[in-house]
Structure 1
Amino acid sequence: MIGAPAAALAAWALAVAVIGTEPTVRMGGGTQPVGPVPVVVTGLLAGLAGWTLLAVLERFTSRPGRIWTIVALVVLALSLSGPLGGAVGPTATLVLVLLHLIVGAVLVLGLPRR
C-alpha cells in the first residue's frame, strides 16, 4: 500500500523537475498548486480505501481479487475526470493524469496479490 504514494511522489518530483513548476488545479474561484503533501495523502487514502474494500470482499465473496480489480479499474477511470476537468493547462493535465494512472497501476497490480 505504501508503494502507491511513493511511486506518485517520485513521479511528481520528476515532473516538477522537468517542467520547473508544480501542476496547478482549479479550486473554487482560483487555482492551487498540487504539492507533495496532497500527492502522498491522496495516494495513501486511495490505498487505504482499496485495501479496506479488498478485505471486505475477501471475507464475503468467493472471487475477491477479480471483483476488486474490476471495481478498482472503474474507480480509476472515474478518477481521471478530476485532472481532465480541473487541471490548469495541458502540462498539468498530463502530469495529474499520469499520477492517477501510477497510483492505480500500483494498487491494481499489487493489492490483490498480497
Structure 2
Amino acid sequence: MEHIAAIMLLVGCSHGSLSCEELPAPQVAFETMEECQSALPTALGGAGVGKRIVHARCAAIDPAWIEEDVEISWSMSRESGLEVEVRQVSPPTDGMIVAENTYRAEAPARLH
C-alpha cells in the first residue's frame, strides 16, 4: 500500500478570478510534503495554458486516513489565494452515497 502524506491541487481561474475550476494535476498523491512542493513549478508550467490563471497548493494528509473517507475542499480569495482543507469524514450510516457535490457561492466583493 502506498504511503500518502500530501496531495496536489491545481485550480484554474478566469482573469479577475470570477470563475474557477479544478484542473487535472500531473501527479496527485505524494509520499512527502517536500516532494509535492518540489513538483509544483512543473505542474504550474504544464497547466498554465489558455486564458486562465493557474493556482497550485499542496495539502498534508494524515497517513492514517488512507483507509478512511476524507473530504477535500478548496476556496479562492483575493487575500489568501488558494486555500485547501483536508478532513476526515465519517461514512454515512444510512447507506452508500454514490456521488455528491457541495458548492457554496459567495457574493463577489465590490471594488472601489
**Above 0.5 in TM-score?**
no
**Over alpha carbons, which structure has the higher Rg?**
2
The structure where helix makes up a greater share of residues is 1
Q: So what's the TM-score if we normalise by structure 1?
A: 0.27
